[in-house]
Amino acid sequence: MACPSDHPSHVEIRPARREDAPGIARLYNAGIRERRSTFETRERELGEIEAWIGDPLPLLVASAAGRVVGYARVARYSPRAAYDGVGEHSVYVDVELRGRGIARRLLDAVAATAERQGLHKLCSRIFTDNAPSRRAHLAAGFTEIGVHRRHAQLDGAWKDCVVVERLLGPAAHAGVAATPPDASGSGGAGDPRRRSP
């Protein structure tokens, strides 16, 4: 017989609390050991996860029968002020409860929370061979933008990463005209006015 926590309707999505830190650490460290989702190879100490919970950016958990079975976190994308409205997110779900829509719900909820906090975009990089994550992101309204080829190595092997993003709030509705590179002067590679974005 199925246990109630096996069913997604019994999974609550809510902001993380301090007592969730061990559950979040368990999921992240399991993800690191899986070697399918992150370049990180150093497992995290509990204190490091507790510091995430004090961060103002969104950190949500999926909780079933009092147990943390998933989480989604938004971290700062860049220290540059122009990117203050951009968050870089990650999502992890307990291996026993995958394929039940928990990641999709977490991604939707974390996007809504980020939007309420005034962020205009969430983005992340996913290993191109991480099919479950790509599917979950597409299901949650993210768009695949392009591929960073050989972005870094994991255990000595090059990994390609697909960049995903979801626009939030006014940015999701703003019409932005595409500007050709030469529209306001040369703007070419040799132009001294040219700056990195």
Ligand X SMILES: CC(C)(COP(=O)(O)OP(=O)(O)OC[C@H]1O[C@@H](n2cnc3c(N)ncnc32)[C@H](O)[C@@H]1OP(=O)(O)O)[C@@H](O)C(=O)NCCC(=O)NCCS
**Binding stretches for ligand X (CB under 6 A):** 31, 34, 36-37, 90-93, 98-104, 124, 126, 130-133, 135-136, 139
List of E strands, the chain: 12-15, 59-64, 67-76, 86-93, 121-127, 143-154, 157-167
Burial call 71-91: b when 16+ CB within 10 Å, e when fewer = bbbbeebeeeeeeebbbbbbb
C-beta separation of 75 from 89 below 8 A: yes
Residues paired with 92 in a beta bridge: 71
> CB–CB of 35/154 below 8 Å?
yes
Residue 92 or 115: the one with the smaller Cβ distance to ligand X is 92
Smallest gap from residue 10 Cβ to ligand X (A): 14
For residues 21 and 130, which CB has a smaller minimum distance to ligand X in the complex? 130
Inter-residue contact 23 to 30 (CB < 8 Å): no
Name the residue nearer to ligand X (CB basis): 141 or 187.
141
Nearer to ligand X, 14 or 194 (CB): 14
Beta pairing, strands 86-93 & 157-167: unpaired
Nearest approach, Cβ of residue 176 and ligand X (Å): 26
Rounded to the nearest whole angstrom, what is the least distance from the CB of residue 17 to ligand X in the complex? Answer: 21
The Cα 62–Cα 4 span in angstroms is: 14
- Residue 165 or 187 with smaller CB distance to ligand X: 165
Nearest-approach distance from CB 64 to ligand X, in angstroms: 12
Token reading at 88: 């870089």
Q: Considering the complex, what minimum distance in angstroms separates the CB of residue 140 from ligand X? A: 7
